[in-house]
Structure 1
Amino acid sequence: MPSMTRATLVLATCVALVLACVTACGADQSGGTGEKPPKLEPLSALGDGEGELNLIAWAGYAEDGSNDPTADWVTPFEQKTGCKTNVKIGNTSDEMVQLMRSGQYDGVSASGDATLRLIYAGDVAPVNTDLVPNYASISSFLKDKSWNSVDGQMYGIPHGWGANLLMYNIDVVRDAPNSWSAVFDDAGTYKGRVTAYDSPIYIADAALYLSKSKPELGIKDPYSLTTEQLDAATELLKKQRENIGEYWSDYTKEVQAFESGTSVIGTTWQVIANTIGSENRVQVNTVLPKEGSTGWSDTWMLAAKAAHPNCMYKWMDWISSPEVNAQVAEFFGEAPANAKACEHTSDPDFCDIYHATDEDFAAKIHYWTTPQKNCVDGSGDKCTAYNEWVDKWQQIKG
């Protein structure tokens, strides 16, 4: 596709790390009980930059031109603000949480499976969005959500997002499926050639499907599951396991599986479909099924004890600006959070491909949120925590 630069193809593997990170989250459940986060006050006024900024980021989110000379939004930021920026690449969310607790970093680009842990443990501070002018043009469907806010208080600035889609080989799967039943109840049709995402958070995909196919289970939110509901999702996934050819968490693994024909249907991301299509070896199609889908939304968060809070606020405004957000989204392969970014993408079709400003599309996505005992949808305190999901996933895979 025109929007897929060489750097994007290389760094798309890092998208896998953003999403694969969820498997490690069971190691640390701080904040998993859903108790109120520590009372911290957001910055009331922006001061001069402190001259330095230490970030934890997913690869591709804070590029300085060293990986690709055409991708550099750190150097202009340093020149504009005087904040010398040091970037530590985080490989998993669990690693990012631990790094943030070292007290050495000012901010992090946290995924939805890590954000609540950081908030409830008091590792990140609430953000005064009035001090981030570009926040005003962030898509409304990414603001004040369960993974980036508590009681209406934002704890960061949205960065980019995407949906987990259903992908299929159109030469093999001829009936153009529009339901997740294709990989659950009807998975036997393609026994041994079904693929699924390799992570405990994939349980939410099964829960979402069950919320529509078995409404008697009473599932309202795929991340707020009672023991009975979690058991039901587990049983569905155990049945699916009989038809799975392979699970994937590495971006390149799914590309190779579809190109070789060992996989013909399963969950995916748009960037993967674009990559397969750009090679013209296999014709695939993607669809957001009628039940909706899961997905991710990343957030820049400020360390509660940041040594350079003013530089971090300046960074959050810079990285969420339309021009820069467009660069990052295209380089990384995801929808930009800033709605005005679509005016600045090099590929005029980029935002259409990624549904960047499509509110109806976004409304069908249930963005990853760390399951907690106190249900994240506010329905009570009888839900299952993420460590229970980890145990179930191990049972599913055997």
Structure 2
Amino acid sequence: MRSTPRTLIRHSTVALSALALATVTACGGASSPEPGAGAPAPGRSGFTPPKIESLKTLGAGEGQVNLVNWAGYVEDGGNDPKVDWVTPFEKATGCQVNAKTAGTSDEMVNLMKTGEYDAVSASGDASLRLIAGGTVAPVNTALIPNYADVFAGLKDKAWNSIDGVAYGVPHGRGANLLMWRTDTVKPAPDSWGVVFDPASPYAGKITAYDSPIYIADAALYLMATKPELGIKNPYALDDRQFQASVDLLKQQRKLVGEYWSDYTKEVQAFKSGDSVLGTTWQVIANVAAADKAPIEVTLPKEGSTGWSDTWMIAAAAKHPNCAYKWMDWIISPQANAQVAEYFGEAPSNAKSCELTADPKHCETFHAADEDYYSKVWYWTTPIAQCLDGRTDVTCKDYSEWTRAWTEIKG
């Protein structure tokens, strides 16, 4: 199929998390064992990725390209006739786009391992797993002209590059925000404390993201409010720090009316008043506001978690030339402006800011505001080697986060 409805945007399920537990090791793919002493993990200094060559020259397209993507990233007019950056690409390149929407990062990793897909829009909690497992190849950015205009703040990051070698092209970025109904929640909140307060007057009408990665949201709040725990990175938690985060979420469980995975359900819950407070994405807020829900959003004072997505090419891509053409297209000024505005995120191409329908889009999403994004902790795969640099303790890896999330949910 080509494109699918936005109802699957980034949704996560316990079933998929359970599947990930069986297939994902501490640093990701089943083909990459947990690093031991003297074997640095992905994202750590000294890590050596599998040796895979990047494409040297760009040839003629192979006629098609198979993509794994977040919903809303590959639109051909099927969901909204006015939203289509796929058809112009197909006409310009002769590469037919076949898109598979994935609901979670775990699903993306597993789909890419099948060898059936050429490229993927991976978030930071998947990209390192794909690199470590040898599933994706380095990218020759010289073959991607539009890469030159990508914001410097998105290049050469721990989740998309190894020792200065790019493993993809940045698609865009966004923060996980706090949303509330303005007719119910007063005063306007400025802290994540409102979703964790055990005496909350909104008990039963608080919502939270349904994924093990949400443990990082609790850790981020504790990092700001319980400095004695010594949390420096919400994805690098030792036993004590992890238990404190899990305990906070178990306490919050009594307040949560519903964990959301399907974004349309969160929109409906805020419209009906079943939910009045909780974590969200800007795209969800946009849809809710367009549906006349009385909502507002903010980046709380503690900061937030968030995402920075990267288009990566499969190491065994059957259509590498079309994949390269797609990566260049999706970060081109016009296409990147369209997708960023449709999805509700900051574009990766600086020139896109001149082409959005809303001239204030980049201002709204802080596209060039590195100070704003310095407060956002992008999703990252938790691994046993502490990502905050500690070497005297072991941190909880993703499989342990998955087990704990199942326990938190009950």
TM-score of the superposition, structure 1-length normalised?
A: 0.90
Aligned mates of 2:275, 2:72 — CA distance in 1: 28
For the 8 Å contact 1:116–1:147, the answer to whether it is kept is: yes
Aligned mates of 1:360, 1:22 — CA distance in 2: 35
Matched, 1:297 2:308: yes
Residue 338 of structure 1: how far off its partner (Å): 1.4
Matched, 1:361 2:372: yes
What is the DSSP-based 3-state SS (H/G/I as helix, E as strand, rest coil) of the residue aligned with 1:220?
coil
Q: Hey, which of these two has a bigger chunk of helix by percent?
A: 1
Q: Residues 116 and 19 from structure 1, CA distance in 2 versus in 1: closer, same or farther, beyond 3 angstroms?
A: farther
Matched, 1:169 2:181: yes
Which of 382, 386, 392 is the matching residue for 1:375?
386
Matched, 1:189 2:201: yes
Q: Residues 245 and 19 from structure 1, CA distance in 2 versus in 1: closer, same or farther, beyond 3 angstroms?
A: closer
- Which moves more between the two structures, 291-300 or 75-84? 75-84
Q: Deviations for 1:213-265, whole angstroms, at most 9, x for unmatched residues?
A: 11111111111111221111001111111222221112122222222222221
Residue 200 of structure 1: how far off its partner (Å): 0.9
For the 8 Å contact 1:170–1:283, the answer to whether it is kept is: yes
Partner of 1:6: none
- Which moves more between the two structures, 82-91 or 354-363? 82-91
Partner of 2:38: none
Aligned mates of 1:98, 1:89 — CA distance in 2: 13
Partner of 2:7: 13
Aligned mates of 1:21, 1:160 — CA distance in 2: 28
For the 8 Å contact 2:62–2:95, the answer to whether it is kept is: yes
Matched, 1:29 2:24: yes
What is the DSSP-based 3-state SS (H/G/I as helix, E as strand, rest coil) of the residue aligned with 1:328?
helix
For the 8 Å contact 1:20–1:92, the answer to whether it is kept is: no
Which of 289, 294, 317 is the matching residue for 2:328?
317
Q: Residues 69 and 188 from structure 1, CA distance in 2 versus in 1: closer, same or farther, beyond 3 angstroms?
A: closer
For the 8 Å contact 1:146–1:369, the answer to whether it is kept is: no
Partner of 1:75: 87
Q: Residues 91 and 184 from structure 1, CA distance in 2 versus in 1: closer, same or farther, beyond 3 angstroms?
A: closer
Q: Deviations for 1:114-141, whole angstroms, at most 9, x for unmatched residues?
A: 2111111000011122221211221222
What is the DSSP-based 3-state SS (H/G/I as helix, E as strand, rest coil) of the residue aligned with 1:295?
strand
Aligned mates of 2:14, 2:406 — CA distance in 1: 15
Aligned mates of 1:59, 1:384 — CA distance in 2: 30
Aligned mates of 1:265, 1:105 — CA distance in 2: 38
Aligned mates of 1:44, 1:284 — CA distance in 2: 50
Aligned mates of 1:64, 1:277 — CA distance in 2: 24
Aligned mates of 1:91, 1:268 — CA distance in 2: 16
What is the DSSP-based 3-state SS (H/G/I as helix, E as strand, rest coil) of the residue aligned with 2:189?
coil
- Which moves more between the two structures, 153-162 or 74-83? 74-83
Letter in 1 for 2:245: A
For the 8 Å contact 1:25–1:113, the answer to whether it is kept is: no
Partner of 2:297: 286
Gaps in structure 1 of 5+ consecutive residues: 1-9
Q: Residues 332 and 45 from structure 1, CA distance in 2 versus in 1: closer, same or farther, beyond 3 angstroms?
A: same
Q: Deviations for 1:317-365, whole angstroms, at most 9, x for unmatched residues?
A: 1110010111122233322221221211122232233233322222211
Partner of 1:155: 167
For the 8 Å contact 1:22–1:199, the answer to whether it is kept is: no
For the 8 Å contact 1:234–1:392, the answer to whether it is kept is: yes
Which of 121, 125, 145 is the matching residue for 2:133?
121
For the 8 Å contact 2:170–2:308, the answer to whether it is kept is: yes
Partner of 1:385: 397
For the 8 Å contact 1:22–1:201, the answer to whether it is kept is: no
What is the DSSP-based 3-state SS (H/G/I as helix, E as strand, rest coil) of the residue aligned with 2:201?
helix
Aligned mates of 1:131, 1:207 — CA distance in 2: 40
For the 8 Å contact 1:12–1:332, the answer to whether it is kept is: no
Alignment of 1:238-257 (within 5 A): 238-257=250-269
TM-score of the superposition, structure 2-length normalised?
A: 0.87
Aligned mates of 1:140, 1:25 — CA distance in 2: 33
Letter in 1 for 2:211: S
Letter in 2 for 1:139: F
Residue 45 of structure 1: how far off its partner (Å): 3.3
For the 8 Å contact 2:10–2:102, the answer to whether it is kept is: no
Residue 102 of structure 1: how far off its partner (Å): 2.0
Alignment of 1:338-357 (within 5 A): 338-357=349-368
Q: Residues 11 and 161 from structure 1, CA distance in 2 versus in 1: closer, same or farther, beyond 3 angstroms?
A: farther
- Which moves more between the two structures, 84-93 or 156-165? 84-93
For the 8 Å contact 1:57–1:90, the answer to whether it is kept is: yes
Aligned pair count? 389
Aligned mates of 2:337, 2:15 — CA distance in 1: 24
Aligned mates of 2:196, 2:144 — CA distance in 1: 44
Q: Deviations for 1:270-328, whole angstroms, at most 9, x for unmatched residues?
A: 12222222233x42221101110001122110111112222211211111001011112
Partner of 1:5: none
Aligned mates of 2:239, 2:79 — CA distance in 1: 46
Q: Identity, % of aligned pairs?
A: 61
What is the DSSP-based 3-state SS (H/G/I as helix, E as strand, rest coil) of the residue aligned with 1:17?
coil
Residue 187 of structure 1: how far off its partner (Å): 5.5
What is the DSSP-based 3-state SS (H/G/I as helix, E as strand, rest coil) of the residue aligned with 2:75?
coil
Residue 158 of structure 1: how far off its partner (Å): 1.1
Partner of 1:7: none
Alignment of 1:56-75 (within 5 A): 56-75=68-87
Alignment of 1:84-123 (within 5 A): 84-123=96-135
Residue 19 of structure 1: how far off its partner (Å): 9.7
Partner of 2:215: 203
